[in-house]
Amino acid sequence: MLTLLFNYSEEEYVSAIFKSVLAEKWKSIEAERYYITITTASGRKLILWNNNKYYAWASDGRFIAGEKGTSWDNARPSVNLLHQMIKRINQEVINTINTMPNGERVDKYA
């Protein structure tokens, strides 16, 4: 049996933000030393803490929609949504790497 330990508790409003962003098409992902910024096709931005992978990942962040925004610190979404977000980020990055500048997929030649 696998036990997951986190420094911070789940907050419903952070889970709602994750659900919303996961449901949208993504325009870009930018990774810096401590943060990942996801920009959706509608222009909304999710900025996530990208450190302490196993116990505090995404425990700090901001969500910006137009001129409005919200932030959280020492909170997290549900474990399920954390896994969905990590999987989606990995898939989006792989798709970016496997796409040539003309939009053609590199892996179709493999």
Residue 100, in any domain of the structure = yes
In 1-110 the beta strands, taken as DSSP E runs, fall at: 26-31, 35-40, 45-49, 60-65, 68-73
**Total domains in the fold of the chain:** 1
Nearest Cα residue to 64 out of 84, 37, 88, 83: 37
Residue 81, in any domain of the structure = yes
Question: Over the stretch 60-108, which tens digit does the pLDDT of each residue have?
Answer: 999 999 999 999 998 989 889 988 998 998 888 776 665 556 666 555 4
Cβ atoms 24, 41 nearer than 8 A: yes
**For residue 67, what are the domain limits?**
12-109
Q: Give the three-class secondary structure for 88.
A: helix
Per-residue pLDDT band at 55 (split at 50, 70, 90): confident
pLDDT of residue 2: 47
> From the CB of residue 67, how many other CB atoms can be counted at a distance below 10 Å?
5
Residue 5, in any domain of the structure = no
Question: Per the structure block, which two tokens stand in for 109?
Answer: 């030649």
Residue 33, in any domain of the structure = yes
Residue 6, in any domain of the structure = no
Question: Over the stretch 3-38, which tens digit does the pLDDT of each residue have?
Answer: 455 667 778 999 999 999 999 999 999 988 889 999
> What is the DSSP secondary structure assignment for residue 106, as one 8-state letter?
G
How many residues comprise the chain?
110
pLDDT of residue 35: 92
Residue 4, in any domain of the structure = no
